[in-house]
Structure 1
Amino acid sequence: MSGVSLKCGDCGTLLKSVEEAQEHAELTSHSNFSESTEPVLNLVCSSCGKPCRSKTESDLHTKRTGHTEFTDKTSEVTKPINLESPHSSNSAPMDVDAQPEEMVVPEVDQTLVQELEGMGFSTARATRALHCSGNSSLESAVNWIVEHENDADIDQMPMVPASCKNEPPKPSLTEEEKKAKFLELRERARKKKEEEERRTEREKEKERIRIGKELLEAKRIEEDNERKRLIAFRKAEKDEEKRALEKIRKRLEEDKAERRRKLGLPPEDPAAAKPSEPAVEEKKSVLPIKPVTKAEQMRECLRSLKKNHKDEDARVKKAFQTLFTYAGNVVKNPDEEKFRKIRLSNQAFQDRVGGLKGGIEFLELCGFGKTEDGEFLFIPREKVDIAVLNSAGKELQSAIENPHFGVL
C-alpha cells in the first residue's frame, strides 16, 4: 500500500500533505518525517458535522458539547500523498497596474461569535480569534485569545482581501498546546466565577446581618415600651387600691364615732370628736384600667365572650376552636390570601363566630380588619404578626382546655 500521510518521527503527528509537514516543522522545529500508510482520521460529529482529525480531538469535542456520535469518513478522503513540494515559480505573475483589492471582514461562525461574546469578549476580538484560529472550534478561538491577549490590534476588526474572505489562516498552536491553553483559560474563568459568587454571598450575608440587627433593635425597643407601660399600669393600680383603702378606713372611723355619740359615750380619742373631714373626692387614674398587653386583651375578650354566652357552653367551645383554626391557618400559610380573608356574610362563620358577641373583636385583636365595603375581614400580608397570632393560639388553647375559664 502506498503512503497516505507523513508521520513526524519526533512527536508522532500524522500530516496529510507536504504543506502541512512544512508548517509543522516551522512551528515545532521537528525535521524527522517519514511516509506512512496510516491515514489521518476524519471523524465527523453526527450532531453538528465538525470533523476531528484524532481521537484526542473527538474526545475534547465530546467533553465540550456532549456529542458522542461520530461517523468515520477516513476512507472517503484518504488518497496517496503527493511528495512534490509546490514551487512558487508556478504562481501567476503580479500585475503591477492592478487596482488595490477590496478589504472586507472575514466570514466566521456567528454561533461561535455569540458564545465568545457571552464569555465577555468583544465582537472584534471574537471575530479576530475565530479567523486567526481557523474558525474551527470555540477551544481554538479561546486558546488564540490567551496567546495573543497582549497584541495591540486584538480588539480591532480583522480585514482580509475580498478574494480571501472565506480562507482563514491556519491555527498556530498544536493540539496539546490548544488543550493546555483552553484548560488554563477555563480554570481562570472558574476562579473568577467563584470569586464573584463569594463576593455576592458576602454582600448578602452583610445585608442579612444588618436586617437582623434592625429587627432585634426594634424588638428591644418594643419590649422596653411594653415593660414601661406595664409598670405604669401596676403603679396606677396600687395607687387606686391605696386610695380606696384609705377611704374605707375613714368611713369606718366616722361610723364608730357616730355610734358612740348616739349611745352617749365619750369619744375614745379627743381627736375622734372633731368633725370628720369631708371625704376627698376620688381621683381617676390618668391611665385606662384595662389590659396592657395583647395577650391580656385577648384573654379578657375571651372571658367576655364566655360570660356573654354562659348558657351556651357547646357553642362557645366551638367558637374558640374555630378562632384557633383561623389563627393557625394564617401562621402556617402567611402568603396565602384565602387564609387571611373571611367573608362576614358566610353562614358558617356567623353561626360559629360572627353571631357571638366578642368573636369579631378577638379577630381584630389578631390583626384582622374590615374592608372598605364591609364585606370581609382581611389582614394584609405586611401586617401579619406571627408573635401576636401565636399568643392568640395560646390563649385560645388555654380557654379550650381549662373548664373553669371565665367562671371567675
Structure 2
Amino acid sequence: MSGVSLQCGDCGALLKSVEEAQQHAELTSHSNFSESTEPVLNLVCSSCGKPCRSKTESDLHTKRTGHTEFSDKTSESVKPINLESPSSTTPTPMDVDSQEMVVPEVDKALLQELQGMGFSTARATRALHCSGSSSLEGAVNWIVEHENDADIDQMPMVPASSKNDPPKPSLTEEEKKMKLLELRAYVHEAFARLLYLSERIRIGKELLEAKRIEEDNERKRFGFFHLIAFRKAEKEEEKKALEKIRKKLEEDKAERRRKLGLPPEDPAAAKPSEPVVEEKKSILPVKPITKAEQMRECLRSLKKNHKDEDARVKKAFQTLFTYAGNVVKNPDEEKFRKIRLTNQAFQDRVGGLKGGIEFLELCGFEKSEDGEFLFMPREKVDTAVLNSAGKELQSAIENPHFGVL
C-alpha cells in the first residue's frame, strides 16, 4: 500500500498532505519527512460536526464540550500521497462524499474581539468553533493549547446540515444581570477569604515572634542560673580534688615514717597548722558594700516585695527620685528636707511600700523622736550620696528587667 500520510521524523506528527508538511516545516523548521501507511484520523463529532485528527484531539473535545459521539470517516478520506505533483489548489468546500462544507457560524462579537487582539480570521473562527463559542477566555485558551497545530490557520469547514442547527439560546438581560451579580458575589467572597487568610498568617507570625522572644528571655534567665550552678559545681570538684591530694600526701608521709621506723604522727599535734586559709583571706579581701549597692539592693527588694504592682512601684521610684532631686537642688530649703510620715499622699506613694522609708534613710533622712517626720539635717546633706541615689532610681525606672533576676 502506498503512503497515505507523511510522518515528521523529528516530532512524529502525521500530516495528510504535502501542503501540511510544508506548513509544518515552516512553523517548526523540521525537514525530515517520510511516507507512512498510517492515515491521519478523521473523527467527526456527531453533535457539532467538528473534525478531529487524532484520538487525543477527540478526547480533549469531549472534555471541553461533553460530546462523546464521533463518526470515523478516516477510510473515506484516505488517498495516496502524491509526492511528484503536490496539489497547489486550495481545498474545495466539497468533501469526498460531495457533501457541501461551509464555514461554521460563530459569535461575531467574540470574533471581532479576537481579531482586535491580533489573531487571524481563520484562527479566531477555528478557536471559537472548537471551543464551543462559549467565551473569549475559552477561545484564547484553545489557541494557546493548539498553537502548534498544522491547520490552526485554515478556515474550519463543517457540513452544511450542521450549520442549520438551531443556535444556542442567548441569555436574556435579566439572566445576564443575575450572572453578573453571582460573579461579583464570588469575587467579593474570594477577596474576603484572602484578607482573612492574610490576617491569620500575620497573627501567626506575631505569635511565633512573641514565643521566640519569650523563649530567648527564658533561656537567658535560666542560662544565668545554670552558670551559677556550673561555677558552684566547679568549686565543689576543685574542693574534692584538693581533699584527695591532701589525703594522698598524708598517706605518703605516714608511709615514709613507717619505713624510717618512726612512730605514727599524732593527728592532734599536726592539726593546728592551717595558714593557708589566712593567706586566702589576705589574697582575696572582702570588699565592703558601698552605699550605692545598698540602695540598689533596697530598690530590688522593694520591687520583688510588690512584683504584682508594677504601676505603684514605678510611681514610688519616681517619687523617691523627686525627693532626692529637690534636696540636691535646694539644700537650704527645710521643706524639701522634711517629710511628714502621716501624710496620706506619702503613704500611698512610698510609705505604704516595704523598703520605701529604708531607701530614704539610706539617702540621709532620719526619723524624728516622736516618729512623725523624716528629717535630714542641713549638715548631713551629702550631694554625692543623693546623686548616687538618683542614678540608681533612674536605672530602676528605665530598665524593664530591673529586679527580675
TM-score higher than 0.5: no
TM range (shorter): 0.3 to 0.5
- Whose Rg is larger? 2
TM-score, length-scaled by structure 2: 0.32
